[in-house]
Structure 1
Amino acid sequence: MHKVELLAPARDLEELKVNISNGANAIYIGGEVFGMPTEKDDFSKEYMIKGIEFAHKRGSKVYVVVNIIPHNEDFIEVESYLKELEVIGVDAIVISDPGMLTIVKNTIPNMEIHLSDQANTTNYVTAKFWFEQGIKRVVVSRELSCEEIAQIRAKTPLEMDIEAFVHGVMTLSYSGRCLISNYMNGQNCDEKINKRSYSLVEEKRPGEYFPVYEDEKGTFLFNSQDLCMIEYIPELVKAGITSFKIEGKMKDSKYIEKVVKAYRVAIDTFYKNPNEWKFNKIWLEELEQISNREFTSGFYLNNPNDEK
């Protein structure tokens, strides 16, 4: 039976140290450039070096996200950035774009490459294609069931890792306020528009309004429940998932710390005696204390295509 990796985010050096100390086998981080933005400042080169040194001394890994959808000008400095990441000992690069894949392979050919869930990998044919292009790990789409992931595992090379989100935000649609401003006013950031209130109306239910939430982090057009799969560790392992990924880019450090602790205990308990593993409701109660939204198992337990 394969041992799964527990993968957690970190937005600064302190978070990286805390999450590794609490049981994360690997950390994914963003650099100062070429990654999707988070609410905190991203890692500088100095802090990356310190974080990688801390992780490697404890047998953990650090993956750097380089998952922007690049425009032409983005390729001007990316090669020098990638070479820096290789020199400081990054364990893998996470990309989402074929062009970026080409640049990474040509610039640092010995680097391990992971494919972000932004690439929307939903089937074994696509997963095998990416593996043949040099991708070591595929982060599968969040819309897959355990059954579908198991099929991907069965029909792809065992050398290919499968990473999947097991806890955190299930984002259906998310955009910054400036996008709405630009659409409505032709300008990037219009304060009057940004301070207006919006609601969604379903076509066949006029008069029923669903609020569009706005805060300093952006505009939330659809806000779902949070994914939580701590009750289903055996099902996830059986599906062939290599890495259990925690989503938490917009969560505070205490939230991530408690999530890492809970999943570490659940995973370790499973491997002590897989056949006798029982879910402990205390783990879920601890997670419920730090979440302000209800939990869901997402699509894992039900294949959405069966309902078509």
Structure 2
Amino acid sequence: MSKFELLAPAGDLEKLKVAILYGANAVFIGGLKFSLRSRASNFTLEDIKEGCEFAHAHNAKIHVTCNIVMHEHDTDDVIEYLKALEACGVDAIIASSLYILKMVLEHTHMEAHVSTQQSSANSETIDFFTKFGVHRVVLARELDLDEIKEVVKNSKVDIEAFIHGGMCVSYSGRCMLSNNMTNRDANRGGCAHSCRWNYDLIKDGKVYNKEGDYFAMSSKDLCAIKAIPKLMDSGVYSFKIEGRMKSLHYIATVVNAYRRIIDEYETTGKVLDYDSYITAIEKAENRLTGTGFLFGDPTVDCQLYDLNLTVPTKDFIGIVRGYDKETKIAYIEQRNYFLPNTTIEVFSPRGTFNLDIKEIYDEDGNSLDAARHPLQKIHFKSDIPLSEFDLLRLI
């Protein structure tokens, strides 16, 4: 097993399983309380228990986020909830509140991890948290590779760093745009992503942009593929992917790409083809990416000042729900339009390969001229055995 942790997001139980099957050896999720993604399909205690059992059976761990900025009414049942999470088998709690971290350390045997919401950007801050008793600190996303290396060298606890996903246009955990403009608190799970809205540019009452040609000010998403070797050499222990509200296709694709590059560099000491990993990720990305602060302060090329956004791919056409070895029938849950008599790509934890499909049928056995209804249950013959959670793509 790798000595490095690849930490993936999951917004529901199915995504948790997909993340682990496609290469994550840890997953972070949100429960129904104290979570910063209030619009995600957050986990019940029953789901968390099932997720922990699945993770532990696959030598993976589960981290639960309890990282909101707490108000007075949030303090009532913290200890009870933490003990319930521990009883489910949770391995670690991610929090920004010192009170929650203290309660984790005093009342449970789970690890306490300091959230990136604390904007930990120097070794003195990490030393404070170390003396406080935490097991890990998640770094601020505003550090470059040299700063990360220096921080890790001077730290006595595990260090976690973000490698992929959304970047805040402000300092992580410090933006107040959503609060001001919509009364939705970004630090309590309600961010409206105001930086991604379309704006007019106005000065002295004059509108400077053309009609329909609006202005936005968000950051490109982070993609650290080319920084992975340096991050590994620096001693970063955990590599974190952002995106609890992303699709299972996104999670599987991104996790698998980072799993493979980490394994390649750990095994051989080099990376032969960075672009192959970037190309793989692009099959599921729906926003443009950049390197954030990793190689120095972001330039204009790392920002999105207009509508130059990528369009979500429609290449993901289905997920395998079952396979009958005797009849060689694959049972599929369809996601995007595709036709019979097509060569498709099967993306699986076992690798990627092409598959020729002929006739396709609905649940009642009716032959279909096209799979056109998302989530429709269909089936077709496949001489190549398929497995649950294999993903199907157009070529």
**TM-score, normalised with respect to structure 1:** 0.83
Within the alignment, does 1:116 sit opposite 2:115 as a pair? yes
- The answer for the alignment partner of 1:163 in structure 2 is 160
The letter of the residue matching 1:291 is E
- The answer for the alignment partner of 2:341 in structure 1 is none
- The answer for the alignment partner of 1:64 in structure 2 is 64
Task: Please tell me whether the aligned partners of residues 11 and 30 of structure 1 are also in contact (alpha carbons under 8 angstroms).
Answer: yes
CA distance in 2, matches of 1:33, 1:86: 14
Number of residue pairs aligned between Structure 1 and Structure 2: 278
CA distance in 2, matches of 1:49, 1:281: 38
- Please report how far the alpha carbon of residue 175 of structure 1 lies from its aligned counterpart in structure 2 after TM superposition: 7.0
Task: Please tell me whether the aligned partners of residues 65 and 93 of structure 2 are also in contact (alpha carbons under 8 angstroms).
Answer: yes
- The answer for the alignment partner of 1:132 in structure 2 is 131
1:65–1:288 distance in 2 versus 1, CA, 3 Å: same
- The answer for the alignment partner of 1:215 in structure 2 is none
- The answer for the alignment partner of 1:191 in structure 2 is none
The partner residue of 2:279 within 255, 276, 285 is: 285
The alignment partner of 1:143 has SS state of coil
Q: Give the unaligned 5+ runs of structure 1.
A: 184-193, 213-220
Q: Give the unaligned 5+ runs of structure 2.
A: 185-193, 299-395
Within 5 Å, give how 1:4-83 maps onto structure 2.
4-83=4-83
The letter of the residue matching 1:289 is K
- Please report how far the alpha carbon of residue 91 of structure 1 lies from its aligned counterpart in structure 2 after TM superposition: 0.4
Within the alignment, does 1:241 sit opposite 2:242 as a pair? no
Across the aligned residues of Structure 1 and Structure 2, the Cα RMSD in angstroms comes to 2.6
CA distance in 1, matches of 2:179, 2:232: 41
Task: Please tell me whether the aligned partners of residues 38 and 249 of structure 1 are also in contact (alpha carbons under 8 angstroms).
Answer: no
The alignment partner of 2:199 has SS state of strand
Greater RCO, CA 8 A, separation 6+ = 1
From the CA coordinates, give the structure whose radius of gyration is larger: 2
Q: Deviations over 1:8-57 (max 9, x none)?
A: 01111111111100110100000011111243321011111110000001
CA distance in 2, matches of 1:53, 1:65: 18
Within the alignment, does 1:259 sit opposite 2:278 as a pair? no
Within the alignment, does 1:180 sit opposite 2:181 as a pair? yes
CA distance in 2, matches of 1:35, 1:181: 20
Task: Please tell me whether the aligned partners of residues 29 and 244 of structure 2 are also in contact (alpha carbons under 8 angstroms).
Answer: no
Q: Deviations over 1:179-224 (max 9, x none)?
A: 52459xxxxxxxxxx9xx86264879x7545847xxxxxxxx7321
The letter of the residue matching 1:46 is E
1:131–1:208 distance in 2 versus 1, CA, 3 Å: farther
Within the alignment, does 1:231 sit opposite 2:226 as a pair? yes
**TM-score, normalised with respect to structure 2:** 0.65
Moved more, 286-295 or 57-66: 286-295
Task: Please tell me whether the aligned partners of residues 5 and 238 of structure 2 are also in contact (alpha carbons under 8 angstroms).
Answer: yes
Percentage of matched positions with identical amino acids: 39
Within 5 Å, give how 1:184-195 maps onto structure 2.
none
Give 4+ residue runs of structure 1 displaced > 6 Å after superposition: 174-178
CA distance in 1, matches of 2:223, 2:264: 17
- Please report how far the alpha carbon of residue 81 of structure 1 lies from its aligned counterpart in structure 2 after TM superposition: 0.4
CA distance in 2, matches of 1:34, 1:84: 14
1:76–1:211 distance in 2 versus 1, CA, 3 Å: farther
- The answer for the alignment partner of 2:326 in structure 1 is none
The partner residue of 1:272 within 267, 270, 273 is: 267
Task: Please tell me whether the aligned partners of residues 105 and 134 of structure 2 are also in contact (alpha carbons under 8 angstroms).
Answer: no
Task: Please tell me whether the aligned partners of residues 11 and 245 of structure 2 are also in contact (alpha carbons under 8 angstroms).
Answer: no
Task: Please tell me whether the aligned partners of residues 148 and 303 of structure 1 are also in contact (alpha carbons under 8 angstroms).
Answer: no
The alignment partner of 2:168 has SS state of strand
- Please report how far the alpha carbon of residue 177 of structure 1 lies from its aligned counterpart in structure 2 after TM superposition: 6.5
